[in-house]
C-alpha cells in the first residue's frame, strides 16, 4: 500500500488543514496545465490527488490508517469528474456545478431508497433566447448612432471609446423580457427519481444525469437525526431506559435494528446506570465497513407507587 502521508509530505498526526495546505501546494506544482505533456508530473499529480481523496475524508482516512485500501482505480482516473480538485481550485468548468442536499433516514441509508426530487435548474429563457430583453422593443442609441462606440480626435490621432450611454450595445433596452425579468435565465423544476443504494455513506455526492441544462447536478447525502439513535461515525449510541427492578434482576430485551432486523440482548442482573452493552456490527454499514451499537442503560425510577409495592419495599429494606 502506498504511503499517502509521505506523498503529501505530512504525517499521521497532521490536521485536515495541514493536509489541505500541503495538497494545494503540490497540486499547483504538478498540475497538468503547468506541465504540458510531462508524463512524470501527470503521474505525480494523480498520486497526490489519490492521497488527498483518502486523507481528506475522515472515514476513508481512518480505514486507511487501519490498513484498509480503498484508493481510486488509477486507470479510470478522470480529471473532469474529480470533485475535490474543482472544489479547491474552482477551475472554470464547462458546466456550473450545483449540489443539492438530500436528507435520508438512517434506516433508508442502510436499506437503500428511491426518492423523487424536484430540482430547480437554470435554463436559457425561451422567450428572449437568453438575452433578457425584447430586441424589437429596443431603440437605437442616439449617442453612438447604434455603433456602440464613439471615435474622437482628428485625422492624425483617433481614440475609439465604448459608448457610455448604451454601454457598447448600440441600442437602449426599453422592455425587459417578461418571462425572465431581464436575467436571460429561468428556473425550471425538473422531476427526477433517484435510487440510493444501500449502505450509502453520509456526504456522498451522487451525480444526476440531467441534459439540456446549464448546470451539472449532484445530490449530497445527509443523514437525518434519528429519534432514538445517536450516531458517531459508523457507531450508534442508544440511551436505553429501563426500570430499576429490571436493572437489579436482569432481563432480556428486543429492539429494532437499522436494517429492519430484531436485536435481542441481555441485561445482566445488578446492572448499574450508564453501563454499556456492546452489540457488534449493529451500527451503520458502508460498502466496506460496519459500525457497532452501544446500548447505554438508563435507570428509571417510578413516578407512582402502589400501597402494595410500598409495603414490599419496606419489607425489603428490613431484610
Tell me whether residue 175 or residue 232 sits nearer to Zn ion (CB atom): 175
Q: Which of 163, 236, 247, 293 binds Zn ion (CB under 5 A)?
A: 163
The residues with which 218 forms a beta bridge, in sequence order, are 99, 207
The whole-angstrom separation of Cα 312 and Cα 310 is 5
Per CB under 5 A, 138 contacts Zn ion: no
Tell me whether residue 10 or residue 141 sits nearer to Zn ion (CB atom): 141
Which of 61, 55, 44 has the alpha carbon at shortest distance from 21? 55
Q: Work out how close the CB of 126 gets to Zn ion at its nearest, in angstroms, rounded to a whole number.
A: 8
* Cα distance from N-terminal residue to C-terminal residue, the chain: 65
The whole-angstrom separation of Cα 88 and Cα 49 is 12
Q: Work out how close the CB of 128 gets to Zn ion at its nearest, in angstroms, rounded to a whole number.
A: 3
Q: Work out how close the CB of 216 gets to Zn ion at its nearest, in angstroms, rounded to a whole number.
A: 23
8, 300, 308 from 246: Cα distances, Å: 54, 10, 18
Q: How, if at all, do strands 149-153 and 113-124 pair? A: unpaired
Per CB under 5 A, 133 contacts Zn ion: no
Q: Work out how close the CB of 160 gets to Zn ion at its nearest, in angstroms, rounded to a whole number.
A: 13
Q: Which of 7, 19, 106, 177 binds Zn ion (CB under 5 A)?
A: 177
Q: Which of 125, 196, 200, 219 binds Zn ion (CB under 5 A)?
A: 125
Q: Give φ, ψ of 301 to 5 degrees.
A: -100, 145
Q: Which of 21, 56, 70, 143 binds Zn ion (CB under 5 A)?
A: 143
Tell me whether residue 9 or residue 182 sits nearer to Zn ion (CB atom): 182
Tell me whether residue 125 or residue 217 sits nearer to Zn ion (CB atom): 125
Q: Which of 144, 217, 293, 297 binds Zn ion (CB under 5 A)?
A: 144
Report how many residues bind Zn ion under the rule CB under 5 A.
12
For residue 150, the SS3 value is strand
Per CB under 5 A, 221 contacts Zn ion: no
Which of 225, 209, 248, 235 has the alpha carbon at shortest distance from 292? 235
Q: Which stretch binds Zn ion (CB under 5 A): 11-19, 169-177, 226-234, 251-259?
A: 169-177
Tell me whether residue 144 or residue 217 sits nearer to Zn ion (CB atom): 144
Q: Work out how close the CB of 159 gets to Zn ion at its nearest, in angstroms, rounded to a whole number.
A: 16
Instruction: Enter the DSSP assignment of 58.
Output: H
Per CB under 5 A, 145 contacts Zn ion: no
Tell me whether residue 160 or residue 232 sits nearer to Zn ion (CB atom): 160
**Distant-in-sequence, close-in-space partners of 99: CB < 8 Å, separation ≥ 6:** 205, 217, 218, 219, 220
- Supply 152's cell numbers: 474622437
For residue 69, the SS3 value is coil
The contact set with Zn ion (CB under 5 A) reads: 125, 127-128, 141, 143-144, 163, 165-166, 177, 179-180
Amino acid at each position: 500500500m502506498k504511503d499517502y502521508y509521505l506523498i503529501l509530505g505530512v504525517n499521521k498526526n497532521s490536521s485536515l488543514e495541514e493536509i489541505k495546505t500541503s495538497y494545494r501546494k503540490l497540486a499547483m506544482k504538478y498540475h497538468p496545465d503547468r506541465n504540458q505533456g510531462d508524463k512524470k508530473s501527470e503521474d505525480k499529480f494523480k498520486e497526490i490527488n489519490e492521497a488527498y481523496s483518502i486523507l481528506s475524508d475522515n472515514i476513508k482516512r481512518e480505514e486507511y490508517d487501519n490498513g484498509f485500501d480503498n484508493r481510486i482505480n488509477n486507470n479510470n482516473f478522470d480529471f473532469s469528474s474529480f470533485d475535490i480538485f474543482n472544489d479547491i481550485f474552482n477551475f472554470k468548468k464547462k458546466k456550473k456545478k450545483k449540489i443539492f442536499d438530500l436528507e435520508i433516514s438512517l434506516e433508508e441509508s442502510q436499506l437503500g431508497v428511491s426518492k423523487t426530487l424536484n430540482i430547480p435548474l437554470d435554463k436559457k429563457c425561451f422567450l428572449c433566447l437568453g438575452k433578457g430583453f425584447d430586441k424589437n422593443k429596443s431603440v437605437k442609441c442616439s449617442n453612438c448612432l447604434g455603433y456602440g462606440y464613439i471615435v474622437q480626435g482628428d485625422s492624425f490621432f483617433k481614440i475609439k471609446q465604448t459608448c457610455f450611454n448604451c454601454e457598447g450595445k448600440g441600442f437602449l433596452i426599453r422592455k425587459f423580457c417578461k418571462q425572465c425579468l431581464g436575467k436571460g435565465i429561468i428556473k425550471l423544476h425538473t422531476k427526477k427519481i433517484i435510487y440510493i443504494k444501500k449502505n450509502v455513506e453520509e456526504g456522498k455526492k451522487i451525480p444526476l444525469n440531467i441534459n439540456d441544462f446549464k448546470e451539472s447536478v449532484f445530490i449530497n447525502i445527509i443523514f437525518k437525526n434519528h429519534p432514538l439513535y445517536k450516531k458517531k461515525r459508523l457507531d450508534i449510541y442508544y440511551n436505553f431506559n429501563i426500570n430499576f427492578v429490571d436493572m437489579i434482576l436482569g432481563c432480556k430485551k428486543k429492539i429494532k435494528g437499522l436494517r429492519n432486523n430484531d436485536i435481542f440482548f441481555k441485561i445482566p442482573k445488578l446492572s448499574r446506570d450508564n453501563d454499556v452493552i456492546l452489540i457488534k456490527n449493529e451500527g451503520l454499514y458502508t460498502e466496506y465497513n460496519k459500525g457497532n451499537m452501544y446500548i447505554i442503560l438508563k435507570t428509571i425510577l417510578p413516578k407512582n407507587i402502589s400501597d402494595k409495592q410500598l409495603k414490599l419495599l419496606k419489607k425489603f429494606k428490613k431484610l
